[in-house]
Amino acid sequence: MTISDTNFELIKELPINEAYDHLTKTPDRRYIYGGVAWPGKRAGYAIIVLMDDRQHFDSHDICVIAEFESFSTRDLVRQIGVMDDKFMPDRWIGDNRNDAADEFIRELQKDGDRDRRRSKLMFVYTSMLEMDYFYMYAMDEIKRLTQKERKMLYLKGSNVVRYMSEILDEEMITELKHGDYPAIEALSYAVITLMKSKIVRHKQPIVAQERKYQTGARQYSTGVRR
């Protein structure tokens, strides 16, 4: 099954946070990633993006399909569980070294609903968290992907747009640190990691496999699992 079978163009036009379970075919979850950034100077943020497997320019189109933000880490973790259940992303990219998030995941594991995906969350670390000038890199990538002439990223009225409008010039970008704009960080983690995953170029067959979870597992983001 490919994303084109699910009518990516239709999903791209759906309102954010609307499930696509009314479609006759649902997307291959390898093309769905989540991104998370914990609360900092602004509310923590979780986002889910979907990539089209049809090539466009030198890569592939991506659209935002869900988002949530909160200053409460507990509320953020619980909503991530709901989003994981609803949209079934292949993985969540973000900082897995957050002890508070680990505790709230354990709360989910004790809620008696162990068979649901939401009780088995894992966040995959990305090297973008180690960049000294992360915002210079991330903002450049987002602007490149959303430029009108070569648009490949569809934000669909996401709150990220509002936050990006607050960043007025290049000098301000150089002063930004992780935690300043969690929405921009989470979007970047998901979109950039998905675009670099090479899952489309390899056209790997879908192999049934059990997902293994560990609370706060120290894993790094990689390409597709083999």
pLDDT digits (tens, 9 = 90+) for 102-148: 998 888 777 755 445 544 678 999 999 999 899 999 999 999 999 88
Between CA 125 and CA 96 the distance in angstroms is 6
Kindly provide the b/e burial profile for residues 108-120, where b requires at least 16 CB atoms within 10 angstroms of the residue's own CB. Answer: bbeeeeeeebbbb
Predicted pLDDT of residue 128: 96
Residue found by looking up tokens 């759906």 in the block:
14
| pLDDT, tens digit only, all 226 positions of the chain | 445 555 777 888 888 888 776 665 566 777 899 999 999 999 999 999 998 877 655 667 899 999 999 999 999 999 998 898 888 898 999 999 999 999 988 887 777 554 455 446 789 999 999 998 999 999 999 999 998 888 889 998 899 999 999 998 888 999 999 999 999 999 999 999 998 886 554 444 433 333 333 444 444 343 333 3
**Cβ atoms 57, 150 nearer than 8 A:** yes
Decide: residue 201, CB within 10 A, 0-12 exposed, 13-18 middle, 19+ buried: exposed
Computed from CA positions of residues 52, 56, 59, 63, in that sequence, does the dihedral angle turn out positive or negative?
Answer: negative
Residues 6+ apart with CB under 8 A from 15: 156
Nearest CA-CA partner of 174 in 142, 127, 137: 137
Predicted pLDDT of residue 147: 87
Hey, what domains does the chain have and what are their CATH numbers?
3-201 (3.30.420)
Predicted pLDDT of residue 204: 44
Find residue 47's DSSP bridge partners. Answer: 35, 67
Complete DSSP assignment for 157-194: T-HHHHHHHT--SHHHHHH--TTS-HHHHHHHHHHHHH
Predicted pLDDT of residue 110: 76
Between CA 48 and CA 45 the distance in angstroms is 10
Nearest CA-CA partner of 187 in 144, 140, 138, 224: 138
